[in-house]
Amino acid sequence: MKHQTVSIQRTATPTFWREAALPYIEARSVEDGRKVCYAKHAHDTFSIGAINGGRSTYLNGTHRQHIGTGAVVVINPEDVHACNPIDDEAWSYLMLYVDVSWLTDLQHESGGRQGQGFRRFSTTMSTRPGLHAGLNRLYGILTDEGADILQKESAARLFFGDVQLALGETAPAPAATSNPKLARAAEFIRANFTCSLKLDEICAASELSPSYLIRAFKQRYGMTPHAYLVNCRIEYSRSALKQGRAIADVAAEAGFADQAHLQRAFRQFTAATPNQYRG
């Protein structure tokens, strides 16, 4: 009997999972990420991801390395990062994005001191087999339509409890800048990201010269003031799109010139279209 070869078509289209009963966690997976590229960006959530095939270049802050199948990336809130395929190689991965307040409460339950904020992890990448397998197992439970909410919530708490044990060493918060005026510039951008800001407005708010602001801001926050502004708009757009808002409305509210502008920036920062993300 002649055997027929079956070709499995993998897709670069990202799959997003969210559930109203578990608003503190979101999942994403990509089967074929060889064309999926990200600009440097940051999230206000804690992120953890598993590389399930191929290799990629992983940037987290000032650290850049090649990682492959079996690796788990660990990204603290607000850390600038990017992960991109190597030379058109096959690359598949999944990510979980977790609300910081929920994870902080879990840290307190696991023995952390009450009243303190989120304890950042010092590890940015792990090759522990158990951690990689556990992350994939949790993803499978979360996305299983036959699993009930209790099972999903229990699995999430169990896994992130294991994360605390596996990556228990914590890192201090990023050192405060020696120039508090840079923090003032960042605060001004966050408070006015929906506006069409000019460089001199940011300089006036922070009392910094344009040349110093651009150089020092990038050194401190990992992005130029403009990229930081766009990142704020993207984070707002993600939140609004999860609520099922119309893309055109979100674009206008976030400060983009039009829907097409949002589409371009959203794909650059998230490697997905607003419509794919909204689901």
The span from the CA of 135 to the CA of 163, in Å, is: 9
The span from the CA of 125 to the CA of 261, in Å, is: 33
Domains delineated in the chain: 15-171 (2.60.120.810), 180-278 (1.10.10.60)
Top mean pLDDT of 31-40, 144-153, 165-174 is at: 144-153
For residue range 208-227, list pLDDT tens digits in order: 999 999 999 999 999 999 99
Tokens of 138: 């949790």
Give the residue-averaged pLDDT of 44-60: 95
Q: Is the pLDDT of residue 235 over 50?
A: yes
Q: Is the pLDDT of residue 100 over 50?
A: yes
Binned at pLDDT 50, 70 and 90, residue 32 comes out as: confident
pLDDT of residue 34: 79
What secondary structure letter does DSSP report for 119? -
**Range from 62-76, 177-191, 220-234 carrying the lowest mean pLDDT:** 177-191
Q: Is the pLDDT of residue 8 over 70?
A: no
Binned at pLDDT 50, 70 and 90, residue 175 comes out as: low
In the chain, at which residue ranges do the beta strands (DSSP E only) sit?
Answer: 15-17, 25-30, 46-60, 63-68, 72-75, 81-85, 91-98, 120-121, 125-126, 170-171
111 burial via Cβ count (<10 Å: 0-12, 13-18, 19+): exposed
77 burial via Cβ count (<10 Å: 0-12, 13-18, 19+): middle
Q: Is the pLDDT of residue 2 over 60?
A: no
Q: Is the pLDDT of residue 1 over 70?
A: no
Give the residue-averaged pLDDT of 64-85: 94
pLDDT of residue 191: 97
Binned at pLDDT 50, 70 and 90, residue 85 comes out as: confident
Q: Is the pLDDT of residue 7 over 80?
A: no
Q: Is the pLDDT of residue 86 over 60?
A: yes
Give the residue-averaged pLDDT of 238-265: 96
| Percent of the chain residues topping a pLDDT of 90 | 78
Give the residue-averaged pLDDT of 258-271: 95
pLDDT of residue 37: 85
| Percent of the chain residues topping a pLDDT of 70 | 91
The predicted model scores a pTM of: 0.87
For residue range 116-148, list pLDDT tens digits in order: 789 999 999 999 999 999 999 999 999 999 999
pLDDT of residue 205: 96
Residue of 70, 180, 63, 65 whose CA lies nearest to 122: 63
Average pLDDT, the chain: 90
Binned at pLDDT 50, 70 and 90, residue 6 comes out as: very low
